[in-house]
Amino acid sequence: MTHTKLYTIIYVVLFAFATIQAAVEGFGLVDESYWFAFWLIIVLSVVKAVMVAAYYQHLRWEPRSVSYLAGGGVLVALALTAAAAYSIV
């Protein structure tokens, strides 16, 4: 029963973060102060991704080497995304 309560709390937090992201875009904060809205959405997205990986993909309870391997994959994906964005501009 403890896991159900934990997963429910995490779901509510993820839902709240997604709602904040939608509100930032919906209320026109992107038009008013673009960089503030941009970084707010990025930070919320990173926090949501870490929470999903840690709890729903069970990386919190895995050995650290598995978590480092997943983190390395994320870094490689970010590097490839940055390289692709650089080549477009």
Give me the number of domains the chain comprises. Answer: 2
CA distance 28 to 89: 26
Same domain, 40 and 21: yes
Same domain, 42 and 17: yes
Identify the pLDDT of residue 86: 78
Same domain, 46 and 70: no
Identify the pLDDT of residue 89: 57
Same domain, 27 and 68: no
Same domain, 8 and 46: yes
Domain residue limits at 81: 63-89
Contact in structure between 58 and 52 (CB atoms under 8 Å): no
Same domain, 23 and 48: yes
What letter represents residue 82's amino acid?
Answer: A
Flag whether the pTM goes above 0.95: no
What confidence tier does 15 reach under pLDDT thresholds 50, 70, 90?
A: very high
Same domain, 44 and 81: no
Same domain, 9 and 28: yes
Encode pLDDT of 18-57 as tens digits.
999 999 988 887 788 888 888 898 899 989 988 888 888 7
